[in-house]
Structure 1
Amino acid sequence: MPYNDYILETRQLVKEFRGFVAVDHVDLRVRRGQIHALIGPNGAGKTTVFNLLTKFLAPTGGSIVFDGRDITASGPAAVARQGMVRSFQISAVFPQLSVLENVRVALQRKLGTTFRFWRSERSLHGLHARAMELLATVELSPHAQRPAAELPYGRKRALEIATTLAADPALLLLDEPTQGMGHEDIDHVTALIAKVAADRTVLMVEHNMGVVERIAHTISVLQRGKVIAEGPYAQVSTDPQVLEAYMGTEHAALPGTRHA
């Protein structure tokens, strides 16, 4: 298969709901090895695009190409197996399991042995070692034996990133990874995203413009289901259409930026 600089492309992607066009002929290209942010005001269609990419919704029109393969007609499980894995806005961990056990369950899922909890501890040793590697990646090693329910919210999100990484994704989709966090947790999770993106591609929906400014290489801005601007932060943050979409005037500044 010929190498393509873009790991993900949508071509004229459309999603209609009973005549309402939620995604309107979106062309999106995500370059390998980058952090690509999808931003826009509430109701712009960002989550709908994510649902189309991960096949929780079927498109009304257009196509989706991932890693050189047309996945428009594929199901969610097939897309995940091919290497596109998503986390969600709400942290999803098993609260009564330990931090280590959460990651090990995610590793078992990848091996197709998720529900074989009767397997001996010795047989799971390989999973244990890999789970500890992933916890080190997200700086949770000291909390390995702690029940997940006891983790502060920001560290729960870090644990979710670790469980997502257990699937060894080529493309990691993060849906509002810093939502509901205080400044310290936002800084911590932002640094983790940059760290895990060192050897994979990240596409994220994010409302916090400070986060986007710090780590996104490319930004696509949606409004009413259409891409109205795309490029680096310095470019899109001064685009009159973008400022109008967010603030109602082209002479404003994006909210939440460090240079507003």
Structure 2
Amino acid sequence: MAGEIILETKGLTKEFKGFVAVNNVDLQVRRGDIHALIGPNGAGKTTFFNLLTKFLPPTRGTITYAGQDITHEKPAQTARRGIVRSFQISAVFPHMTVLENVRAALQRNLGTSFHFWKPEKSLYHLHERARELLAQVDLQDFAEELTVNLPYGRKRALELATTMALEPDLMLLDEPTQGMGHEDVSRVTQLIKKVSAGRTILMVEHNMNVVSSIADRITVLQRGAVIADGPYSEVSKNPQVIEAYMGSADNELQGAH
């Protein structure tokens, strides 16, 4: 059901030897939304993602996904529920073709692990789905290209395709446009909008133009705590948010209007 809460954290906290990286965060992500998590450097965004994907245990608080308490699950269990994270590291094999990368992700999803030793023809049935996914991210013309040769923005598009091959219900995108030129940012922003159909996206993003153009809802973290939550039109006028971003030219909120 669109609009229902798919992911919720209550009082989520992570302390490292007296330093509170994530401080009592209450967050609700609605099914079908593109929800952006923003904040200055050191605000706790990556730590928060690590808590969601179980790479870190919380000090206290709860994480609920689709009505189930997943706070203490192992990373693999959480991934099997359909929570898939992308863009943290370049999650592609550079010396395989673009098509082979997507096919490898499809194999992983089938649970056949990486049967690289299987006869090549037994993988043909995955070709059609792989080509569909490439078409969704405008990479159909690059299918036979070695991944290492792709421009940076296209590599990011390939990561979107390999993430979608795992059939996520909730895609966690960690700074999907980081390090990109303007043209690539625009392309990848539109791709995120396109692939959000039928799924939920929670993204950490620094670029305010991206956030203002595609996010349905925004949560702002500062020093590990939520200082604002709501649609961009509200959040961008919040005095605390404006103050948090002052003096940081590349994060200037007003620049996105």
Length-normalised TM-score, structure 1:
0.94
| Structure 2 runs not aligned, ≥5 long | none
Matched with 1:18 is 17
Q: Could you tell me which amino acid in structure 2 is paired with residue 76 of structure 1?
A: P
Q: Which residue of 1 aligns with 2:155?
A: 156
SS in structure 1 of the partner of residue 24 of structure 2: strand
Question: What's the counterpart of residue 122 of structure 2?
Answer: 123
Q: Structure 1 residues 6, 118: CA separation in 2 closer, same or farther (over 3 Å shift)?
A: same
Asked if the contact 2:37–2:220 (Cα under 8 Å) also holds between the matched residues in 1, the reply is: yes
Change (3 A) 1:4 1:59: farther
- The one-letter amino acid paired with 1:11 is K
State the shift of 1:92 in Å: 2.3
Alpha-carbon distance in structure 1 between the residues aligned to 2:170 and 2:142: 27
User: Once the two structures are superposed, what CA deviation does each residue of 1:206-260 show, in whole Å capped at 9, x if it has no partner?
Assistant: 00000000000000000011000000101000100101111169xx9x6165555
Take 2:160 and 2:24, find their aligned partners in 1: how far apart are those partners? Answer: 31
Structure 1 ranges of 4+ moved more than 4 A: 256-260
| Distance apart, 1:4 and its partner CA | 7.8
1:255 match: 252
Q: Which amino acid aligns with 2:86?
A: S
Which AA in structure 1 matches 2:203? Answer: M
Is the partner of 1:79 in helix, strand or coil?
Answer: helix
Match of 2:131 in 1: 132
Contact 1:13 1:24 (8 Å CA) reproduced: yes
Aligned-residue offset at 1:123: 1.8
Question: In 2, distance between residues paired with 1:128 and 1:78?
Answer: 28
- Structure 2 contact 228–235 (Cα < 8 Å) conserved: yes
- Structure 1's unaligned 5+ residue stretches are none
CA distance in 1, matches of 2:183, 2:82: 31
Percent of matched pairs sharing the same residue:
66
Note closer, same or farther for the CA distance 1:257–1:120 as it changes in structure 2 (3 Å cut). farther
TM-score scaled to structure 2, two decimals?
0.95
> Which residue matches 1:243?
242
Measured against aligned partners, the alpha-carbon deviations of 1:57-88 in whole angstroms (never above 9, x if no partner) come to 00000000011111101011111110000013
Distance 1:79 1:125 in 2: 30
3-state SS, counterpart of residue 196 of structure 2: helix
Q: What residue identity is the alignment partner of 1:246?
A: Y
Letter in 2 for 1:45: G
Matches within 5 A, 1:164-175: 164-175=163-174
Distance 1:257 1:173 in 2: 26
Partner of 2:67: 68
Aligned residues: 257
